[in-house]
Chains A and B, each alone.
Chain A
């Protein structure tokens, strides 16, 4: 059950859009920085396959400029 955290850098002026898109995808918890153009993102999926699919979906978002992995945990059921 992977839990991963990322820093998501939006394209300038599209921070709100990226945040909405991530929340809409599900399995994502997002906290935007108040004073910088960046989002802290935590993903929570059931298995590696699901995690890979979610990451692909995130990377395909047009409002995303860069996704940087910070930490990864794999927990038991």
Chain B
């Protein structure tokens, strides 16, 4: 293609501007350049601006997409969105650039004699349906599986659930949200009996302190971080960063406190110890609204196939809990957490001060943890003991990483144990699903089967013979891909992958289905603050690319389930939403009608009497409260939230002489998760072209490692070679290395460990032992 000097020059100018913006972002985390997106739009352009949510993280920023002659040409922040108020991060601005990528999947590809052959979509869907039927008839219903995504829209997740659980009759459905927020779910369920945060982003406008637990918000949730920085400037709100690595968030915080990996459990207990010792307990709140429990200890790490665990909760009293905490005095905890006694007391005093409002934020640091459920419980303990919960500016808040991890994975329930309302183990929930789906209740199995890690172990064992992967890239994102890549290549399993772009996961597929991207289809997402956002199709998808919902429906119909999927191609999103909405009727989870969602830039559920419920469990704001008290934790039968006794337990694999470093993995601001979209956006790819391994300068010096030098990072499972990074983006503590996982050419998950929290089954990507050497 002819590339004019003007085009080249314009591209270089764009790169120069991006360099300046990236440099500014390193100096001022959370900085926003809202006008940047409008550059390049011709002055005389008559753009049609359509609203929707951003495609990337769980913050759920509202975007306006400018279309002209059927093409998306610009993106800007939606000023009417209460989430981002017109602001966007660098990924958000550039999101639509990926759909023009030259390697876009536009036709179905079927592997024949080892080569991919372009195939009409209808023929490919015939093959998918026949392979699924064949597997079921030969090996039973539980030989087929579907692995979906927190990026699936609500209709996609709903149809996947109905198809697998209601039509076929297997619970072999799980999703990649298992890898990022399952511990938050089990944390909420065990403490409150109901999932998802009680507060909302408006808490930012009221809090005096933000305590971020292992959470680099400046890079992962930049728009929210920018709102926090604004409050820091305007009202003097303080940000306290509690982490294992110094990041952009740390440098922008008022105080950065570092801890030894895994010891956050002990520090959280030490904070509770101090709260009780100093008389900072909100006694009337605890007496009226809380109970105390303990569970099993030494619960394992899920390292072995077919690992099973069921907790056995036992009621305890306040005095037993107080006695338990004696092992967690700041003096004792300081010795192994490497957090000073002074800093532990400082954190406790923030939470303990009755005149200060505190919000705790966390994301992967706490969730991707072999004791992730416990860690979530412990932060709730702090808020419950002090009564700082469910009020503007006071509350614990787990952030999500994907745009609909809440709306689809958690609310629709695309997990093996879930239904659109409730759990498969509960008869009433199965009966509700059977009634709405119009299927016999006996068809919905009552036992969960495979969670994400175990699903791919089952593929490796040959227990699953057909898997359909949708809108996710597990062969980059799963832990221990060194086992699961060869597993997916085995002939014993027929692999279908629907995606927008080629990825290492499509590389192992028998059939690749071309999926429509975000704005090429209508849909709904649900963000971290329970906000449901609707958008309409904005542009046509190229070639045969088709919405995933419609491909699911087409396959279900080919398998003989036409009657269960009567939706029309034109209006299926609306028809499905209305069917799905029936699952959440009532004041505890009522969802807004579509007419409202079409007008508003998102609506928070429960949506009752024409109003969003911003703070659940607080009678002042939440119409579902019915106990005539100020607070009502109605998720629990006794209306009380649970304060859990959860101890510190070590990580399954710690550094030793042979593998002397902790490996921590994570993300960078330029790329979203496995990079399949953002690495196809030239400005983002240029800004961060490859992964790297970060060292503490003292470790680098001791090993004689220089910046940029290729380093082989190895564990007991595999190795990965990356350039060294010293004193650049982040600074790990001594004895730790950090690697971002976005780069499919440097697969750090070949190295990670597939241990998980026995309660949530969420893997721990933050801690395993590695050695490093010059490559």
Contacts and interface: CB of A to CB of B under 8 A. Distances in A.
Interface of A: 1, 3-7, 29, 31-36, 38, 40-42, 44, 68, 70-71, 73, 75-77
B19 A44 contact: no
B35 A31 contact: yes
B13 A71 contact: no
A33 B20 CA distance: 11
Given A31-B39, A33-B33, A34-B87, A7 B9 contact: no
Contacts of A38: 24, 27-28, 31
Contacts of A44: 9, 13
Contacts of B34: 34
A35 B24 contact: no
B23 interface: yes
Interface residue tally of chain B, by bracket?
20 to 34
B12 A35 contact: no
Candidate in B5, B24, B27 with the most chain A CB atoms within 10 angstroms: B24
B33 to A, nearest CB: 5
B205 interface: no
Contacts of B87: 34-35
Contacts of A3: 9, 12-13, 16
A34 B32 CA distance: 5
B9 A75 contact: yes
A36 B24 CA distance: 9
A32 B36 CA distance: 8
B229 interface: yes
A49 to B, nearest CB: 19
Given A35-B230, A36-B31, A4 B9 contact: no
Contact of A35 (B16, B19, B23, B30): B30
Closest 10 pairs (CB-CB, A-B): A5-B16, A40-B20, A5-B20, A71-B19, A34-B32, A34-B34, A70-B23, A70-B20, A36-B28, A42-B16
A53 B21 CA distance: 24
B226 interface: yes
Contacts of B303: none
Given A35-B226, A36-B28, A36-B31, A29 B23 contact: no
Candidate in A6, A34, A76 with the most chain B CB atoms within 10 angstroms: A34
A7 B20 contact: yes
A56 to B, nearest CB: 20
A77 B5 CA distance: 7
Contacts of B39: 29, 31
B36 A31 contact: yes
Contacts of A1: 9
B16 A31 contact: no
B775 interface: no
Contact of B19 (A5, A32, A33): A5
A33 B32 contact: yes
B14 to A, nearest CB: 9
23 contacts: A5-B16, A5-B19, A5-B20, A29-B13, A31-B35, A32-B35, A33-B32, A33-B33, A34-B33, A34-B34, A34-B35, A34-B87, A35-B32, A35-B226, A36-B28, A38-B24, A40-B21, A42-B13, A42-B17, A42-B20, A44-B9, A75-B9, A77-B5
A71 B20 CA distance: 7
Nearest to B88: A34
Nearest to A77: B5
Nearest to B36: A31
Contact of B8 (A32, A34, A75): A75
Candidate in A29, A31, A32, A68 with the most chain B CB atoms within 10 angstroms: A31
Nearest to A1: B9
Contacts of B230: 35
B233 to A, nearest CB: 8
Interface in B210-236: 226, 229-230
A72 B500 CA distance: 35
Contacts of B24: 7, 33, 36, 38, 40
Given A42-B16, A73-B16, 14 more contacts: A3-B12, A5-B16, A29-B39, A31-B36, A31-B39, A32-B33, A33-B28, A34-B33, A35-B230, A36-B24, A42-B17, A42-B20, A71-B19, A75-B8
Contacts of A42: 13, 16-17, 20
A52 B13 CA distance: 18
A27 to B, nearest CB: 11
Contacts of B8: 75
Candidate in B5, B27, B33, B35 with the most chain A CB atoms within 10 angstroms: B33
Nearest to B21: A40
B17 A5 contact: yes
A68 B36 CA distance: 19
Contacts of B16: 3-5, 42, 70-71, 73
A68 B28 CA distance: 14
Contacts of A71: 15-16, 19-20
Contact of A29 (B15, B17, B19, B226): B17
A50 to B, nearest CB: 15
B12 A70 contact: no
Contacts of B20: 5-7, 40-42, 70-71
A38 B15 CA distance: 18
A36 B32 CA distance: 8
A20 B24 CA distance: 20
A56 B9 CA distance: 23
A75 B17 contact: no
A50 B573 CA distance: 57
Interface in B707-729: none
B13 A31 contact: no
Contacts of A5: 16-17, 19-20
B708 to A, nearest CB: 18
Nearest to A41: B20
Contact of A40 (B9, B12, B30, B33): B33
Contacts of B17: 5, 29, 31, 40, 42
A75 to B, nearest CB: 6
B221 to A, nearest CB: 15
Contacts of A68: 23
Nearest to B85: A34
Interface in B548-579: none
A70 B15 CA distance: 11
A5 B229 CA distance: 26
A46 to B, nearest CB: 11
